[in-house]
Amino acid sequence: MNILITGIHGFVGSNLVVALKEQHSLYGLDIVAPEKEGVIKTFSWKDVEPASFPMQELPKFDAIIHLAGKAHDTKNQSAAQVYFDINTGLTQKIFDFFVESSARKFIFFSSVKAAADCVVGDILTEDIVPSPVGPYGESKIKAEEYILGRLKVENEKLKVSSCDDKEVYILRPCMIHGPGNKGNLNLLYNVVKKGIPWPLGAFDNRRSFTSIDNLCYVVEGLLTKGVASGIYHMGDDEALSTNELIALMCEVLGRKPHIWKVNKRIMESCAGLGALLHLPLNSERLRKLTENYVVSNAKIKAALGIEKMPVKAEDGIVKTIKSFSD
């Protein structure tokens, strides 16, 4: 297949190139266009605007994977409009291009944060009515709504499903990790590496993660199998607690974990005081560190006809942790 990947120089894009280059012809679309092994050519965003670059002069793509976006700023220092300009605006541009192109498959990387900032109940499924909180999740759900709305308009134009031959997948992964990704797991690792005790051991929360290897496997499946269009949540099979993450990090480091099970009410009182005194631990940060966020991957596994993801959550996490010391 001829595949166009936006944001191809990012963490997920770079891993997809490695996973797909042997079987497919890959092209990039990014704000930078250096040569990349496995990529035939990287185009700029102006190249997909018919007014400046006629579509017939571009390769005929079979699939488009849209990764480009503004990542979630956990420090909340980014202006809200930036998220909508990038996450919503670029999605509109590339999806318009897809509708007019010969490409049959479109994979949009949204986020579970487009569905919910926190999980009410045991597990987050695709049936939830989206209620994002903050510009990151809100900009992602706006992009999803544009995709679904544009498809509806195209179908109604001719009173038939004019996009019947096109398959559109909205993928909502939870936190993606893997070698080369310096995210929140790396921050926790640095705390553990310094020997700082973890004081929140009394909160036995569980969270879902997405191994980059499992993610690449799913994308390959969406590209090559006859999967029905739709919204699919993405995560590893097993959810892990923060206590388990710390234990795995200590195992890799060859150390004994220092997990303190300080009384929950005491920690909540300290967090409340931290909010008043502007300390690192406040009520909001305590909630984020100790909440449950378990994501169902049942729908995507059923669509791909598999019972399990190829990589266990624990194995994927260990692989990521080992990369931090490389």
List pLDDT tens digits, range 47-93.
Answer: 888 665 555 578 999 999 999 998 866 555 668 889 999 999 999 99
Nearest residue to 23 (alpha-carbon basis) of 6, 38, 43: 38
Q: CA of 235: how far to CAs of 174, 205, 212, 227, in Å?
A: 6, 16, 10, 18
User: What is the model's pLDDT at position 73?
Assistant: 63
Mean pLDDT of the chain: 90
Residue 50: count other Cβ atoms within 10 Å of its Cβ.
12
Domains of the chain (ranges; CATH) run: 2-179+208-236+294-310 (3.40.50.720)
Sign of CA dihedral 15, 244, 324, 291: positive
d(CA 239, CA 66): 27
pLDDT for residue 27? 96
Distances (CA, A) of 240 to 110, 157, 218, 223: 22, 47, 21, 29
pLDDT in tens, 127-152: 999 999 989 999 999 999 999 998 88
